[in-house]
Amino acid sequence: MDLPADATDPSGEQPGPGLRADAERNRERILAAARGLFASHGLGVSMACIARAAGVGKATLSRRFATREELLNAVFADRMDAYAAAVAEALADPDAWHGFVGYVEAVCAMQAADRGFAEVLAMTFPAAKALEKRRAAAYHGFLDLIERAKATGRLRADFSDRDMIILLMANAGVIAATGDAAPDTWRRLVGQMLRAYATPGTDLPPLEPAPAPTALYRAMVRLTRPAPGPDGDLE
C-alpha cells in the first residue's frame, strides 16, 4: 500500500472528516511557532526549524503556507495593522508635532518588542503582497504626517521620509546588537534622533539615560560571540 507523502508527519493531519479541524489546528500551531521564533531570533529562522517547533512535518507546513512570503503575510498581519493604526492615531492628534513624536516612538517600540517585526519594517518583501500593501498604506499616511509636522515649524524643513527608513534600519541594528544586555538602548537612539529632527527650541520628551558602561560592554562582547540558534545550536 502506498503511504501518503506526509505519513511520518507528527501533526496527525490525516484524510477524513476531521481534516478541516486538523488543518486549522496545524495552521495555528505553525503561526504560533513562527511568531515566537521570528520575535526572538529574527527572520533568518528556517522553515524546517518552524516546522519542528510547531510539531508538524515540512509537507504540512508547505500545504498551509506554500511560500515563506505567505507565512510572513500571516504572521505579521496584526502587527502591520498596529503599524497603520499608529499612523492614524498620529494624524488624529491636533498637535501635529506631538503626533509625529508619538508615531516615531510607537513604531520603534514595536520594533523593540519583536525582533522579526524590527526586520520587517527595515526590509522589503515584494512577493509578500499583503504585507507590502499594508506597509504602503501606512507610509502614505506618514508622508502626510511629515508635512503637517513641518507646518508647525518644529520639524526641520530638510527632514525626509527616508530619514525614517534610516532610523528604522538603525533601530533594528541596535535592538539586534544589544539584546538583553542593554535592552533600553534603542530609546536613547530614538531620543537623540528626535533631537536631530527638531528645530531649535522645540519641546521634546526627556532623553533616556545612556546605557551603563558595563551593560554596553556586555552588548559589545555579545556581538563577538555566535548567537544560539532557535534549537539551542550556534548559528
Enter the C-alpha cell of residue 136: 504602503
Banded model confidence at residue 228, pLDDT cuts 50, 70, 90: low
42 or 211, greater pLDDT = 211
| Tens digit of each residue's pLDDT (9 = 90 or more) over 52-109 | 999 999 999 998 998 888 898 888 888 888 888 999 999 999 999 999 999 999 999 9
Q: What average pLDDT does the chain have?
A: 85
State phi, psi for 234 to the nearest 5 degrees: -80, 135
Read off the pTM: 0.75
Residue 104: all three cell numbers together: 516615531
- Tell which wins on pLDDT, 16 or 186: 186
